[in-house]
Amino acid sequence: MRVLVTGGAGYIGSHVVKKLGEQGHIACTFDNLSTGNRWAVLYGDIIVDDLNNMEAIRRTVRAFRPDAVIHFAAAIVVPESVADPLKYYANNTANTLNLLRVLQEEKIGMFIFSSTAAVYGMPEQMPIDELAPLAPINPYGTSKMMTELILRDMAAVNSSFRYVALRYFNVAGADPKAQIGQAYAAATHLITRGLKTAKGFSARLQIFGTDYDTPDGTCIRDYIHVDDLADAHLLALKSLADGRKSDIFNCGYGHGFSVREVVTVIRDVTGIPFLVEETGRRAGDPAQLVADSTKLRKVLGWQPLYDDLSFIVKTAWEWEKKLS
Going by C-alpha positions, the residue among 170, 213, 215, 167 that lies closest to residue 191 is 170
If we measure between CA atoms, which residue out of 47, 75, 70 comes closest to residue 59?
47
In this structure, how many other beta carbons lie within 10 angstroms of the beta carbon of residue 170?
23
HSE-up of 158 (CA within 13 Å, CB side)? 20
Strand, helix or coil for residue 289: strand
Strand partners, 28: 4, 45
Contact 235, 301 (CB under 8 A): yes
Interatomic CA distance for residues 289 and 255, integer angstroms: 9
- Backbone dihedral angles phi then psi of residue 110, each to the nearest 5 degrees: -125, 130
Sign of CA dihedral 210, 213, 215, 218: negative
Q: Transcribe 131-182 into DSSP letters.
A: TSPP--SSHHHHHHHHHHHHHHHHHHH-TT-EEEEEEE-EEE---TTSSS--
Tell me, yes or no, if 184 is annotated catalytic.
no
First to last CA, the chain: 36
Please tell me which residue in 11, 43, 88, 140 is annotated as part of the active site.
140
Which H or E run contains 259? helix 259-270
Catalytic residues: 140
